[in-house]
Amino acid sequence: MAEKKTLLKIITPDRNFFDEEVDMVIFRTIQGDMGVLPGHAPLTTILSIGIIRIKQGEEEKRATLIGGFAEIQPDRITILADAAEWPEEIDKERAEAAKRRAEERLAKKTEDINVARAEAALKRALVRLELCQYRE
Amino acid sequence: MASMREIKRRIRSVNSTGQITKAMKLVSTVKMQKARKDLESTRPFFNIVQKTISSIVNSSKGISHPYLEQREVKKTLYIVMASDRGLAGGYNNNVCKLALKYMEERNKADIELITVGRKAKDFFERRGYKINKAYIKISEEPKYSNAKEIEENIMQLYSEGKVDEVYLVYTSFKSTIDQKPMVKKLLPVDTSDFQEESQEQRRTLMIYEPSPESVLEYIIPKYIASVIYGAMFEAAASEQGARMTAMDSATKNAEEIIDNLTLHFNRARQAAITQEITEVVSGAEALK
């Protein structure tokens, strides 16, 4: 099994983010983290906001995945995300500003704000900041 | 016949108009190529979303979901996509007129309207339609966040029962010289759109987590957003294509007018010379 690889495709609305053979993928679904090895049973699942870990031999790559879903076939994994970024693509200051903004909005809890949207914004910012740590 | 100076002035003004139209044509050519390229890059996402929906719809027979169910139509929402700027030939007018044709079949009070682009907003405001939301300054460089915002908007209206049908009116981009306004039904999703293509692809049994319904519930808004996103790019490419054609013919017209005026100018010049010679000759004659 060790030599077997699976094709991982990550597609966002505006680009093909990733398209290579990989050994293992770990990502976050709405029901918790999930690791996929080559030869997985066909499965379609919804993704939450989180970090995807892509293992290729000794190397491990990380990227953010903002929402979307994954379609898993034994020989390939297709992930459609609203947005995806490598660590070096993240604008740290912007993410921090977004985090502050979302926190303020949640703290106020006024009637007119969309709590779900603010929470999602906060989550996005946190995930981006977390990924910044892995920047080389 | 107009005086030489007058003709000269006209030539100069037509010439500068021609230069402007020529420049505009070049600019829209570049912009169109960019929009076309962007349109291409949205295709893979759209295709996979569509494939996934069709495999869910087909593998789980008799799946029911509010997004798929036809209900009694009381209110209809139209999304009309035009541009912010004119000078694009019939582009804005064609798409707005097509939308109007459909809207006139219904009662004005039963119509909800979302417009993209200033021209669409003006068009329907002039005709006394109430616009729910008008998006301006997004049509030239569409962003996914814009498409998503529209999608969230219509999903909310639809699930609250404020509208029972959603149509998208946009200009589809066939080629540089051929753009066609189109109407596409967004909601309820027509399952027959997905049925036929899955006949060929035989699929192994797919597990849906947490359930086919919830995956569908999640994916359909994505599908709608990607349809809107794709349509925005098609509209942007069409706008530039239409402007390119319009500016091309404007430039040609300007050249034609200049040719014509140059002819008139030369005739006027000749006439003036002839007259002068006649005057000189007749003056000399008189002295004899």
Q: What is the pLDDT of residues B252-271, one digit of tens each?
A: 999 999 999 999 999 999 99
Q: CB of A68 within 8 A of CB of A82?
A: yes
Is A50's pLDDT higher than 90?
no
Query: Do A62 and A28 have their domain in common?
Result: yes
Question: In this structure, are residues B214 and A42 in contact, taking their beta carbons and an 8 Å threshold?
Answer: no
What's A69's DSSP letter? E
Based on the fold, state whether residues A103 and A80 are members of the same structural domain: no
Alpha-carbon distance A63 to B224, whole Å? 26
What is the count of residue pairs from A and B with beta carbons less than 8 Å apart?
A: 67
Cα–Cα distance measured from residue B255 to residue B268, given in angstroms and rounded to the nearest whole number: 20
Question: Could you list the residue range(s) of the whole structural domain that residue A57 is in?
Answer: 6-85
Which domains occur in chain B, in start order? 26-245 (3.40.1380.10)
Q: How confident is the model at residue B23 (pLDDT cuts 50, 70, 90)?
A: very high
Query: Would you say the C-alpha torsion A60, A63, A66, A72 has a positive or negative sign?
Result: negative
Residue A107 lies in a domain: yes
Q: What CATH number should be reported for the domain holding residue A111?
A: 1.20.5.440
Roughly how many angstroms between the first and final C-alpha of chain B, as a whole number? Answer: 33
Residues from chain A contacting residue B207 (CB–CB below 8 Å): 41-44
| Pairwise CB contact (< 8 Å): B45 & A46 | no
Q: pLDDT tens, A13-36? A: 878 888 999 999 999 888 888 899
Same domain, A79 and A94: no
Quick one: A96 and A53 in the same domain? no
Record: contact A45-B203, CB cut-off 8 A: no
Please name which of B214, B216, B284 lies closest in space to residue B52, comparing C-alpha atoms.
Answer: B216
DSSP annotation of B177 reads T
A11 within a domain of the structure (yes/no): yes
Q: Could you tell me which residues are beta bridge partners of residue B76?
A: B111, B165
B98 close to B64: Cβ distance less than 8 angstroms: no
Of B147, B205, B210, Cβ closest to residue A31 = B210
Say yes or no for a CB contact (<8 Å) between B206 and A44.
Answer: yes
The CATH number of residue A13's host domain is 2.60.15.10
Nearest to B207 among A16, A30, A43 (CB): A43
Model confidence band, residue B8 (pLDDT cutoffs 50, 70, 90): very high
For residues A123 and A60, state if they share a domain.
no
My answer on whether A48 and A97 are in the same domain is no
A32 and A18 within one domain: yes
Cis (ω within 30 of 0) for the bond into B188? yes
B44 vs A16, A45, A68: nearest CB = A16
Q: Are B201 and B6 in contact (CB under 8 A)?
A: no
B219 pLDDT above the threshold of 50: yes
Q: Tell me, yes or no, whether A30 and A59 share the same domain.
A: yes
> Angle at the Cα of B145 (from B144 to B149), degrees rounded to 5?
120
Q: Which residue on chain B is closest to A11 by alpha carbon?
A: B45
Flag whether A50 is in a domain.
yes
User: What are the angstrom distances between the C-alpha of B94 and each of A47, A66, B64, B173?
Assistant: 41, 38, 37, 13
Residues A10 and A74 in one domain: yes
In the DSSP assignment, the letter for residue A42 is: P
Which of B184, B187, B163, B181 has the alpha carbon at shortest distance from B106? B163
Tokens of B131: 């616009």
Residue A52 lies in a domain: yes
CB spacing of A11 vs B44 below 8 angstroms: yes
Q: Note whether residue A67 is domain-resident.
A: yes
B219 and A16 in contact by Cβ < 8 A? no
Measure in Å the smallest separation between the Cα of A55 and chain B Cα atoms. Answer: 23
Pick from A105-109, B27-31, B130-134, B217-221: least confident = A105-109
Contacts of B215 in chain A (CB under 8 A): 44-46, 69
Which residues of chain B lie closer than 8 angstroms to A69, CB-CB? 52, 215, 218-219, 222
Residues A77 and A124 in one domain: no
SS3 of residue B83 by DSSP: coil
φ, ψ for residue B201, nearest 5 deg: -85, 110
Q: How far is A84 from chain B (nearest CA, A)?
A: 13
Q: Do B210 and A30 touch (CB under 8 A)?
A: yes
Query: Can you read off the two tokens belonging to residue A97?
Result: 């500003």
Is residue A1 assigned to a domain?
Answer: no
Based on the fold, state whether residues A42 and A63 are members of the same structural domain: yes
Chain A hits for B44, CB-CB cut-off 8 Å, are 11, 16
A77 with A57, same domain? yes
Strands, E assignment, A23-120? 24-29, 32-36, 43-47, 50-56, 59-73, 76-85
pLDDT at B65: 78
Instruction: Quote the number of domains for chain A.
Output: 2
Distance from CA of B228 to the nearest CA of A (A): 11
Q: Using 50, 70 and 90 to split pLDDT, how confident is the model at B200? A: very low
Percent of chain A with pLDDT over 90: 7
